[in-house]
């Protein structure tokens, strides 16, 4: 990318270099330094780039990593901090935001370091106190957070995902663990599969297992109501969000804010209640029709378990060019919970959609309760036509994504718009 700077520019791509530009050398591109020099570029590292961009080193950077929950936890922290009167930036799967204004569209969960430095530069201009970011396992392996000093970090959970990149679960776990070796303040989910972490400045949170921040009592009827205990203090979580998984997200977010700021607990409770959730995450589009981003076995199981008392019609698929081992597991989980399952296309990328569907289908023992409809729009329409009064339709995998990626091209596609079109055509 090219970042304009005074009368020249900064780039991390040697092919873009020109005389007297700046080439940001980092772990991902250091093999191209000589090429950049030949073109007359000035070589800088992350520390020098920060100085050029006038990045305020006092901004407190908060990083969240885990298989599931990163986006909602990050958004909750951002929302709570803004409500408490702090200036704050946020970047992750949903894009980049500064003080309630979106400054960039959706992209990678964790951008290359030059893009993150651009966000930090803008956050500095806006006098932000905090910078909240999602940190992916890919970014940890590729060191896309090079040179960033984190004030606090959160580990949400770890389940099977991204094995196409990491090759095996041990490598995936090691990537996550690498984020928690320092002495920054850390918040570790005690109920998740265990990881190794530096215990210095670490706090645990949980519901089932003993932890520093733990839930004393909770209810998940019509939203979330819970009492959080932490040493000699307690506060309430009251939220319109649904599901046990969201209680974990809110617990992590509130624990971090409480530990960093020691705010008035009544103000903290009000700020937690004001967080309305994230678009595309358990979002009800029509009565008893919900979309969600869940695309891993664990993510799917958590949302289906939340609605286990309902008669479920579930529309789902799996992304192409990604970990194939999770596909039958997703099928097995959906079969366990669903009245009717409809397997369809997600983002097939370079794979054939029907081949992906067949791999998911292997997870079903009883094929009579499953339909396979390759066209995602047709699959959604079918689910809505099948829906009876007491049924709940869950459309999983894409959340608020506005495209479908097929053979290297992104085509406009939105589960939300498809649902709205269906009911508009029905005159409802």
Is 69 annotated for ligand binding? yes
Residue-by-residue pLDDT tens, the chain, 428 positions: 899 988 999 999 999 999 999 999 999 999 999 999 999 999 999 999 999 999 999 999 999 999 999 999 999 999 999 999 999 999 999 999 999 899 998 888 999 999 999 999 999 999 999 999 999 999 999 999 999 999 999 999 998 777 778 889 999 999 999 999 999 999 999 999 999 999 999 999 999 999 999 999 999 998 999 999 998 899 999 999 999 999 999 999 999 999 999 999 999 999 999 999 999 999 999 999 999 999 999 999 999 999 999 999 999 999 999 999 999 999 999 999 999 999 999 999 999 999 999 999 999 999 998 999 999 999 999 999 999 999 999 999 999 999 999 999 999 999 999 999 999 998 76
Q: What is the 3-state secondary structure (H, E, C) of 21-60?
A: CEEECCCCCHHHHHHHHHCCCEEECHHHHHHHCCCCCCCE
Backbone dihedral angles phi then psi of residue 301, each to the nearest 5 degrees: -60, -40
Residue 94 counted as an annotated binding residue: no
Is 404 labelled as part of a ligand binding site?
no
The predicted structure's pLDDT at residue 134: 98
Q: Tell whether 398 is in a known binding site.
A: no
Please report where in the chains the tokens 């094995």 appear, as a residue: 163
User: What are the residue boundaries of the structural domains of the chain, listed by start?
Assistant: 2-52, 60-274, 283-425
DSSP labels, 166-199: HSSHHHHHHHHHGGGSSSSEEEEETTSSP-----
395 within 8 A of 415, measured Cβ to Cβ: yes
**Residue 171 is assigned to a ligand binding site:** no
- Asked if residue 66 belongs to a known ligand binding site, the reply is yes
DSSP conformational letter for 7: T
Place of tokens 């215990």: 199
Rg (the chain; Cα; Å): 22
Q: How far apart are CA 219 and CA 238, in angstroms?
A: 10
Whether 54 has a binding-site annotation, put simply, is no
- The verdict on whether residue 116 carries a ligand-binding annotation is no
143 is in an annotated binding site: no
DSSP state letters, 217-264: EEE-TTSEEEEEEETTEEEEEEES--SHHHHHHHHHHHHHHHHHH---
Number of residues assigned to the chain:
428
Q: Determine the topology of domain 283-425 in CATH.
A: 3.90.190
Q: Report the half-sphere exposure of 62 (CA within 13 A, side-chain side).
A: 26
Helix (H, G, I), strand (E, B) or coil at 281: coil
Q: How far is it, in rounded angstroms, from Cα 141 to Cα 172?
A: 9
60-274 fold? 3.40.1190
Say if residue 375 carries a ligand binding annotation: no
DSSP line for 382-401: HHHHH--TTEEEEEES-TT-
Assign domain 2-52 to its CATH superfamily.
MurE/MurF, N-terminal domain (3.40.1390.10)
DSSP string, 125-162: HTT-SEEEEE--HHHHHTTTTTT--EEEEEE----S--
283 marked as part of a ligand binding site: no
pLDDT for the residue numbered 161: 78
The H or E element spanning position 98 is strand 95-98
**Does the annotation flag 340 for ligand binding?**
no
| CB crowding 349-388: b at 16 or more within 10 Å, else e | bebebeebbebbbebbeeeeebbbbbebbebbbbbbeebe
Taking Cα atoms as reference points, which of 96, 90, 101 lies closest to residue 132? 90
Please tell me the predicted confidence (pLDDT) of residue 428. Answer: 63
347 a known binding residue? yes
pLDDT at 339: 96
Which H/E stretch holds residue 110? Answer: none
Residue with tokens 């053979």: 407
Answer whether 271's CB lies under 8 Å from 79's CB: yes
Q: Is 348 known as a binding-site position?
A: yes
Specify the pLDDT at position 232: 87
């Amino acid at each position: 990318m090219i970042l304009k700077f005074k009368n020249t520019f900064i780039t991390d791509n040697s092919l873009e270099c020109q005389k007297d530009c700046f080439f940001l050398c980092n772990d991902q591109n250091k093999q191209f330094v000589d090429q950049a020099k030949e073109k007359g570029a000035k070589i800088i590292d992350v520390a020098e780039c920060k100085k050029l961009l006038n990045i305020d080193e006092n901004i407190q950077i908060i990083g969240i990593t885990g298989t599931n929950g990163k986006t909602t936890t990050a958004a909750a922290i951002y929302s709570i901090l803004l409500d408490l009167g702090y200036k704050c930036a946020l970047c992750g799967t949903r894009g980049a935001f500064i003080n309630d204004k979106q400054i960039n569209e959706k992209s990678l969960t964790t951008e290359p370091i030059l893009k993150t430095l651009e966000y930090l530069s803008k956050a500095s201009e806006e006098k932000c106190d905090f910078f909240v970011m999602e940190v992916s396992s890919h970014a940890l392996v590729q060191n896309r957070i090079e040179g960033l000093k984190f004030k606090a970090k959160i580990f949400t959970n770890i389940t099977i995902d991204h094995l196409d990149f990491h090759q095996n679960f041990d490598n995936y776990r090691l990537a996550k663990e690498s984020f928690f070796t320092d002495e920054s303040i850390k918040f570790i989910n005690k109920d998740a599969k265990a990881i190794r972490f530096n215990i210095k400045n670490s706090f645990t949170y949980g519901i089932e297992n003993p932890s520093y921040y733990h839930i004393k009592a909770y209810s998940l009827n019509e939203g979330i109501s819970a009492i959080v205990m932490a040493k000699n203090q307690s506060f309430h979580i009251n939220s319109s969000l649904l599901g046990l998984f969201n209680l974990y997200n809110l617990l992590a977010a509130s624990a971090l804010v409480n530990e960093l700021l020691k705010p008035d607990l009544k103000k903290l409770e009000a700020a937690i209640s004001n967080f309305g959730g994230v678009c595309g995450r358990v979002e009800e589009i029509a009565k008893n029709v919900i979309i969600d981003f869940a695309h891993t076995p664990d993510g799917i199981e958590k949302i289906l378990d939340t609605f286990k008392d309902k008669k479920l019609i579930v529309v789902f698929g799996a992304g192409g060019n990604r970990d194939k081992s999770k596909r039958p597991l997703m099928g097995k989980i959906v079969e366990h919970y669903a009245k009717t399952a409809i397997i369809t296309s997600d983002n097939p990328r370079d794979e054939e959609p029907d081949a992906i569907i067949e791999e998911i289908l292997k997870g079903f023992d009883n094929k009579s309760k499953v339909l396979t409809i390759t066209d995602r729009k047709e699959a959604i329409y079918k689910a809505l036509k099948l829906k009876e009064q007491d049924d709940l339709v869950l459309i999983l995998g894409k959340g608020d994504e506005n495209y479908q990626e097929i053979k290297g091209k992104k085509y406009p596609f939105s589960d939300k718009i498809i649902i709205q079109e269906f009911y508009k055509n029905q005159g409802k």
